[in-house]
C-alpha cells in the first residue's frame, strides 16, 4: 500500500470517527434540551409559571440535574456511544429505561436537593421528556430513510407490487427504497389476509388480496411483482407466477426461510423466479438432533460425490461437522468442482478427495483401509435411461456390481450406516435403469440382513437441476429459440429440488432400519408439458413452441413411487415412508442379468 493511500485511509477514518462523535453529541444535547422543554411545558400548563423564587431555584436545579444525569448515565452505559441504531425499537427501549432511571434518581433526591420543588414536576416531566426525545429520534429515522440512497430518474424506475405485507414484505420495501440498483418503486402491497386491507406500511397501502393482483397492477401501472413470502410453497408460487405472466409482469421471489441468513432479507435475495421455485418448495422439516447424532464426529464417505446429488449431500454433511468427509468419484473435474464449492479451493491434494471407480473391488478395499469410514452415502450411478437401454452392460457393472462391491467392503469394515440412493424407476421397473436400481435395493436389503446394521435405500423421483436433467435440455432449447421437445403430451413425473431431496436423504439415514427402502414424499406428479410451458413463460421468450417426440424404449408415461405389491408405512418423518423389498442374495445375481 502506498503512503498516499495510507494517509487517505487514515483521513477518511478520522473523518468518520469525528462525524460519529458529532452525531452522538447532538443526540445527547437533544435529550438535554428535551428535559428542559418538558419542564417548561409542565410549568406553563400545570402552574402557569406562577411559582416563588425558591421554587424557581429548585426547578432550574432539577432541570439541570436531570439533564446532566441523563448524559452521564447514557455515556456510562454506551447509550450515546453507538450502542443502538438511532430510531430503532432497541434504542426506544433503551431510552425509556434511561429516562426511567433518571426519574427515579431525581425523585429520590428531590427532598434533599430541590427544596420547595412542586410535587407534580418530578412526576410529570419524565414522561413528557421521553415523548419528546422519542419524537426527535423518529423524525431522524424518517429523514434518514428518505434521504438514503440516490434515487434514480423517474424514467428508470419500475413500479412494483409486493405480494405479502408481513415482515419480509416490509424488509423488501425498505431494501427497494434504499437500494438504487434494484430500480423499483413500491406502489402497493397485496396480501391474502383480509385483515390487512386498510393497512399502510411507511405510507404504502395494502391495495387488496392476491386475487386482485392483475387489476391492481394495471391500475398502478406496475411492471413487476415481488413475492415476499419466504415460506411460500410451490402451489402459491405457481399461482402468482401464472398471474404475473398473464399481466406481463416481471416476477421475483425470495429464497426459502432456511436459506435466509438470520431470517433477514438482503437485496441479493430478491431474484427472478425459477422453475425450481414453482415445482419445488416442499416444506421440509428436519430433526437436526437426530442427524447430528449420527453424523457429527463420524468418518463419512460419499460415492459419486461429483454428481448433483452427491455434491449436495457432501455440502450438507459437511455442515454437521463430521470427523472426516471423503468424496469419491471417477470424474476428476467433478471432484475439483465440489471441493471448490465446499472448501473454497480445488487443490485436490488432500485426503478428502479420492479418484476411484466403484467397479474396482480391490481399489475400494484400499480406500476403506486408508480412510476407515463409519458412514457411507452411495450416490454413484449411471442414470440416463435411454443410454442404459443402448448399453445395458454398463448399467449392470456400475449400478449392480458397483453397489455390491461397496456393500461387501462396507460389511468387511463394519460400517455403521449405509445409505443407497435409488430412484422411483425401481418401482415396477420397465427399463434397464429401473431394473438395475431395483437390484441395488435388494442387495442392500440382503446385506442389512447379514450385518444387522441400518443399511437402507432411499427412493425418490426427478430432482430439479441435476446435471444432464430435463431442465438443462429445456433451457438450452429455449435459449436457442426452440422448439422444446417433450416425449408425450400426457407424460408426468415427480419433482423435488436437489437440496430438499438431499435433506430428506440425510434424515432418512437417521431413522431408517435395516433393509428398508425409504421413499420420499414428492407431492403430486407434474405434467412435463406444463413444465415446458412454465419455463418458456419464466424465460420471457416469445414464439417458442413445443414438439412431441414419443416415449422412448423403457420409458413410462407415469412414474410410481411404489410397486403394486409394496405397502407403504409411515415413519417418524411426515415426508418419508418406508417399504420392504425382498432381499437378493448375490449368488442369485446371474438370474437377473439384464
* Domain chopping of the chain, boundaries: 3-147, 154-273, 298-461+496-521+561-585
Q: From CA 403, how far away is CA 396, in angstroms rounded? A: 10
Cα-trace Rg, the chain: 33
SS3 360: coil
pLDDT of residue 149: 46
Half-sphere exposure of 61 (CA within 13 A, CB side): 18
pLDDT tens per residue, range 452-479: 999 999 999 888 877 777 888 898 999 9
**Range 347-352 average pLDDT:** 93
Cell 430438499, residue located:
500
Q: Considering only 194-208, 434-448, 565-579, which range has the smallest mean pLDDT?
A: 194-208
224: cell is 413487476
Q: Considering only 145-149, 251-255, 273-277, 508-512, which range has the smallest mean pLDDT?
A: 145-149
Distances (CA, A) of 583 to 83, 443, 586: 65, 6, 9
**Range 250-266 average pLDDT:** 71
pLDDT of residue 259: 60
209: cell is 388480496
pLDDT of residue 150: 46
pLDDT of residue 434: 95
Considering only residues 356 and 542, tell me which one the structure prediction assigns the higher pLDDT: 356
pLDDT of residue 281: 62
Q: Helix 332-343 and helix 308-319: axis angle, to 10°?
A: 30
Considering only residues 534 and 436, tell me which one the structure prediction assigns the higher pLDDT: 436
pLDDT of residue 9: 47
pLDDT of residue 261: 55
Residues 6+ apart with CB under 8 A from 158: 183, 184, 185, 223, 224, 250
**Range 386-407 average pLDDT:** 96
- Percent with pLDDT over 90 in the chain: 51
Residue 7 has pLDDT above 50, yes or no: no
Q: Considering only 109-123, 347-361, 494-508, which range has the smallest mean pLDDT?
A: 109-123
pLDDT of residue 3: 44
Q: What is the largest CA-CA distance in the chain?
A: 113
Tell me the CATH class for 154-273.
alpha beta
- Percent with pLDDT over 70 in the chain: 90
pLDDT of residue 585: 94
Answer whether 154-273 and 298-461+496-521+561-585 agree in fold: yes
pLDDT of residue 155: 52
Residue 151 has pLDDT above 80, yes or no: no
Whether the Cβ atoms of residue 39 and residue 59 lie closer than 8 Å to each other? yes
Around Cβ 358, how many Cβ atoms within 10 Å?
26
Strand pairing class (495-497; 576-580) = unpaired
Show which residues are catalytic: 425
**Range 8-12 average pLDDT:** 47
- Whole-structure pTM value: 0.71
Q: From CA 438, how far away is CA 508, in angstroms rounded? A: 18
Considering only residues 300 and 52, tell me which one the structure prediction assigns the higher pLDDT: 300
Whether the Cβ atoms of residue 94 and residue 4 lie closer than 8 Å to each other? no
Residue 519 has pLDDT above 50, yes or no: yes
Instruction: Encode 491-534 in three state secondary structure.
Output: CEECEEEHHHHHHHHHHHHHHCCCCEEEEECCCCCEEHHHHHHH
Tell me 274's DSSP state: -
Residue 291 pLDDT class (50, 70, 90 cuts): confident
Considering only residues 41 and 11, tell me which one the structure prediction assigns the higher pLDDT: 41
pLDDT of residue 359: 97
- For the domain bounded by 298-461+496-521+561-585, which CATH number is listed? 3.40.50.720
pLDDT of residue 5: 44
Residue 10 has pLDDT above 60, yes or no: no
pLDDT of residue 6: 47
381: cell is 450411478
pLDDT tens per residue, range 55-92: 888 888 888 999 899 999 988 888 887 777 777 777 88
Q: Looking at beta carbons, which pairs linking 106-114 to residues 24 or more positions away fall under 8 Å?
A: 106/62, 106/65, 106/66, 106/69, 109/65, 110/62, 113/61, 113/65, 114/58, 114/59, 114/61, 114/62, 114/65
Q: What is the mean pLDDT of the chain?
A: 86
Residue 512 pLDDT class (50, 70, 90 cuts): very high
pLDDT tens per residue, range 95-122: 899 899 999 998 888 888 888 888 888 8
pLDDT of residue 318: 96
pLDDT of residue 263: 59
pLDDT of residue 176: 80
Amino acid at each position: 500500500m502506498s503512503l498516499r493511500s495510507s494517509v487517505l485511509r487514515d483521513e477518511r477514518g478520522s473523518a468518520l470517527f469525528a462525524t460519529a462523535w458529532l452525531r452522538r453529541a447532538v443526540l445527547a444535547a437533544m435529550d438535554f434540551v428535551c428535559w428542559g422543554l418538558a419542564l417548561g411545558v409542565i410549568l406553563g400548563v400545570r402552574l402557569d409559571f406562577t411559582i416563588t423564587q425558591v421554587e424557581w431555584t429548585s426547578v432550574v436545579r432539577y432541570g439541570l440535574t436531570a439533564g446532566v444525569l441523563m448524559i452521564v448515565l447514557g455515556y456510562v452505559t454506551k447509550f450515546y456511544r453507538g450502542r443502538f441504531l438511532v430510531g430503532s425499537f432497541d434504542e426506544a427501549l433503551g431510552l425509556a429505561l434511561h429516562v426511567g432511571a433518571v426519574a427515579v434518581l431525581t425523585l429520590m433526591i428531590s427532598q434533599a436537593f430541590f427544596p420547595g420543588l412542586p410535587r407534580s414536576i418530578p412526576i410529570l416531566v419524565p414522561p413528557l421528556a421521553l415523548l419528546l426525545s422519542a419524537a426527535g429520534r423518529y423524525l431522524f429515522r424518517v429523514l434518514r430513510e428518505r434521504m438514503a440512497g440516490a434515487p434514480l430518474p423517474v424514467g428508470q424506475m419500475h413500479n412494483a407490487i409486493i405480494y405479502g405485507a408481513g415482515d419480509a414484505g416490509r424488509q423488501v420495501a425498505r431494501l427497494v427504497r434504499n437500494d438504487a440498483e434494484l430500480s423499483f418503486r413500491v406502489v402497493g402491497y397485496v396480501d391474502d389476509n383480509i385483515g390487512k386491507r386498510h393497512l399502510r406500511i411507511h405510507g404504502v397501502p395494502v391495495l387488496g388480496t392476491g386475487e386482485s393482483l392483475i387489476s391492481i397492477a394495471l391500475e398502478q401501472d406496475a411492471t413487476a411483482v415481488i413475492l415476499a413470502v419466504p415460506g411460500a410453497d410451490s402451489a402459491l408460487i405457481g399461482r402468482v407466477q401464472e398471474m404475473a405472466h398473464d399481466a406481463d409482469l416481471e416476477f421475483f421471489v425470495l429464497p426459502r426461510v432456511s436459506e435466509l441468513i438470520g431470517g433477514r432479507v438482503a437485496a441479493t435475495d430478491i431474484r427472478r423466479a425459477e422453475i425450481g421455485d414453482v415445482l419445488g418448495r416442499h416444506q421440509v422439516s428436519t430433526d437436526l438432533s437426530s442427524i447430528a447424532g449420527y453424523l457429527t464426529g463420524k468418518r463419512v464417505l460419499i460415492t459419486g460425490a461429483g454428481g448433483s446429488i452427491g455434491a449436495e449431500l457432501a455440502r450438507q454433511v459437511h455442515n454437521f461437522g463430521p470427523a472426516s468427509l471423503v468424496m469419491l468419484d471417477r470424474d476428476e473435474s467433478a471432484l475439483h468442482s465440489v471441493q471448490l464449492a465446499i472448501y473454497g479451493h480445488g487443490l485436490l491434494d488432500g485426503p478428502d478427495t479420492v479418484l476411484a471407480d466403484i467397479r474396482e473391488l480391490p481399489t475400494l478395499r484400499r480406500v476403506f483401509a486408508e480412510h476407515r469410514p463409519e458412514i457411507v452415502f452411495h450416490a454413484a450411478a449411471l442414470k440416463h435411461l435411454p443410454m442404459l437401454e443402448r448399453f445395458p452392460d454398463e448399467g449392470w457393472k456400475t449400478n449392480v456390481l458397483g453397489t455390491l462391491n461397496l456393500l461387501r467392503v462396507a460389511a468387511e469394515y463394519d460400517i455403521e450406516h449405509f445409505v443407497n440412493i435409488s430412484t422411483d424407476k425401481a418401482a415396477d421397473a420397465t427399463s434397464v435403469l429401473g431394473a438395475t436400481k431395483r437390484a441395488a435395493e435388494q442387495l442392500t436389503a440382503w446385506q442389512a440382513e447379514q450385518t444387522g446394521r441400518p443399511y437402507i435405500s432411499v427412493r425418490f423421483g426427478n430432482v430439479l437441476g441435476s446435471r444432464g436433467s430435463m431442465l438443462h435440455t429445456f433451457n438450452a432449447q429455449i435459449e436457442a429459440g426452440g422448439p422444446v421437445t417433450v416425449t408425450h403430451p400426457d407424460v408426468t413425473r415427480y419433482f423435488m429440488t436437489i437440496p430438499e431431496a438431499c435433506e430428506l436423504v440425510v434424515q432418512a439415514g437417521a431413522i431408517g432400519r435395516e433393509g428398508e427402502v425409504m421413499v420420499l414424499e414428492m407431492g403430486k406428479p407434474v405434467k412435463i408439458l406444463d413444465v415446458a410451458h412454465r419455463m418458456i413463460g419464466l424465460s420471457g421468450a416469445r414464439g417458442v413452441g413445443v414438439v412431441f417426440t414419443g416415449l422412448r424404449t423403457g420409458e413410462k408415461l407415469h412414474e410410481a413411487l411404489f410397486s403394486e405389491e409394496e405397502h407403504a408405512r409411515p415413519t417418524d418423518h411426515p415426508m418419508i415412508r418406508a417399504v420392504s423389498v425382498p432381499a437378493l442374495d448375490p449368488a442369485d445375481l446371474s438370474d437377473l442379468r439384464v
